[in-house]
Structure 1
Amino acid sequence: MNIREWPADERPREKLLQRGAAALSDAELLAVLLGSGVAGRNVVELARGLLVRFGGLRQFLEAPRSAVLGEPGLGPVKYAQLQALLETGRRYLHETIERAPALESPMAVKRYLKSMLRHEPSEVFGCLFLDSKHRPLAFEILFRGTIDRASVYPREVVRRSLVHNAAALIICHNHPSGSSEPSQDDVHLTMTLKRGLALIDVRVLDHLIIGEGEPLSMAEEGWISG
């Protein structure tokens, strides 16, 4: 059935305009982004099929270019539009966190850092640099590694902290495997960075590990104190 024949309040675009984007399902949101279907399938059916094949909305949006372009009806233009959407979301969160008066919401920090790291196919290590009132100064990914390891050099973390004149920071890294449980190396690295940065009066407030679900906070788990 052609989507134009649906009742107006059931068409994804009209439904969004009437009730807001939050009222749409994942398939309906994707249908709005895709704009049109393919021969024999309307855009909602196309979106549903993509979500089933890729395993969900995030998996589809983060899929390799070759996999997306291999789907009927998804050419370079639509792929570029989807990538632009992802980058727009990341930049929106980046500006939101940078304009925050202070880090009063740990959940907002977790969402922000997850948005910056979760899509990475290999392990990366980053720092959110803060001033003396815990206002964000900058976020940087400092090291990139392999699927399960990234070499971190404390000297470079110290150097970047001095460049930003940071008084504190939140360190983070991702686990592409999906598990957010820290390894012994993660705990050791955290303590090493904490001791090294204390020499220049920079506090390590937390170390977040980004996997599936909610990021793990080493501070909340008791591995960082003082």
Structure 2
Amino acid sequence: MFINSIVSCAEENSPLLVAEAGGCYRPASDVEILNAAELRLLARVHHGPALQTPTAVKEYLRIRMGTLPHEEFVVLYLDSHHRLLHAETLFRGTLGQTSVYPRELAIGALRHEAAAVMVAHNHPSGDPTPSRADEALTQTLKTALAMLDIRLLDHFIVTPMQVLSLAEQGLV
């Protein structure tokens, strides 16, 4: 039975297998592969230096939210050494927009005792170009958090193929 499962999987052109009840294996779906990658990244984030570089943060965000069919706003809460304390989806929107409330971000940052945050939202359209609303939101969040002595380090815009850093664009 095990050999038959592997042979049938090989015919499906999937290099990754998922164990099912009874010891059978089947090809992993794209969603299962992405979920497994996110879980692996999260394990590295909480047990090692996984998000110590801008490239690592971008890859984590691209896998976490790049292919979502709706907009989400994610916050990475960081300690004073910029180590990850907690990551969460703070807001969920529609295909083309999400509402973000600075008060809720500040409450979360205080709850997690964050010294700094990085925020991200995705563009399901695939275009990472920041809108004027994205730029205005970034400045509003930066100002609001600064009043609480919390730094906004970056705001990322995530698509399936790339992640744009507003800090790298000089907009934070």
- Shorter chain as denominator, the TM-score bin is 0.7 to 0.9
The structure-2 alpha-carbon separation of the partners of 1:187 and 1:197, relative to structure 1 and needing over 3 Å to count, comes to same
Residue 158 of structure 2: which of 210, 213, 222 is its match? 210
Task: Please name the residue that 1:128 is paired with.
Answer: 76
Q: 1:47 Cα deviation (Å)?
A: 3.4
Q: Distance in 1 between matches of 2:50 and 2:59?
A: 15
Q: Distance in 1 between matches of 2:26 and 2:134?
A: 39
2:145 paired with 1:179: no
2:102 paired with 1:154: yes
Task: Please name the residue that 1:47 is paired with.
Answer: 13
Mean Cα displacement is larger for which, 165-174 or 90-99?
90-99
2:150 paired with 1:195: no
Greater share of residues in helix: 1
Task: Please name the residue that 2:67 is paired with.
Answer: 119
> SS state of the match for residue 122, structure 1?
coil
Q: 1:86 Cα deviation (Å)?
A: 2.8
Q: 1:87 Cα deviation (Å)?
A: 1.9
Deviations 1:90-128 (A, max 9, x none): 111012123334853110010011111112110010100
Task: Please name the residue that 2:35 is paired with.
Answer: 87
Task: Please name the residue that 1:221 is paired with.
Answer: 169
Letter in 1 for 2:77: F
Matches within 5 A, 1:22-41: 35-37=6-8
Q: What residue ranges of structure 2 are gaps of 5+ in the alignment?
A: 15-24
Letter in 1 for 2:55: M
Task: Please name the residue that 1:31 is paired with.
Answer: none
Q: 1:168 Cα deviation (Å)?
A: 0.3
Q: Distance in 2 between matches of 1:195 and 1:78?
A: 51
Q: Distance in 1 between matches of 2:97 and 2:159?
A: 14
Task: Please name the residue that 2:22 is paired with.
Answer: none
Q: Distance in 2 between matches of 1:103 and 1:206?
A: 13
Q: 1:187 Cα deviation (Å)?
A: 0.3
TM-score by length of 1: 0.64
- Backbone CA RMSD of aligned residues: 2.3
Residue 137 of structure 1: which of 78, 85, 88 is its match? 85
The structure-2 alpha-carbon separation of the partners of 1:159 and 1:146, relative to structure 1 and needing over 3 Å to count, comes to same
Query: Sequence identity, in percent?
Result: 42
Q: Distance in 1 between matches of 2:111 and 2:40?
A: 25
Q: Distance in 1 between matches of 2:117 and 2:90?
A: 13
Q: Distance in 1 between matches of 2:170 and 2:26?
A: 45
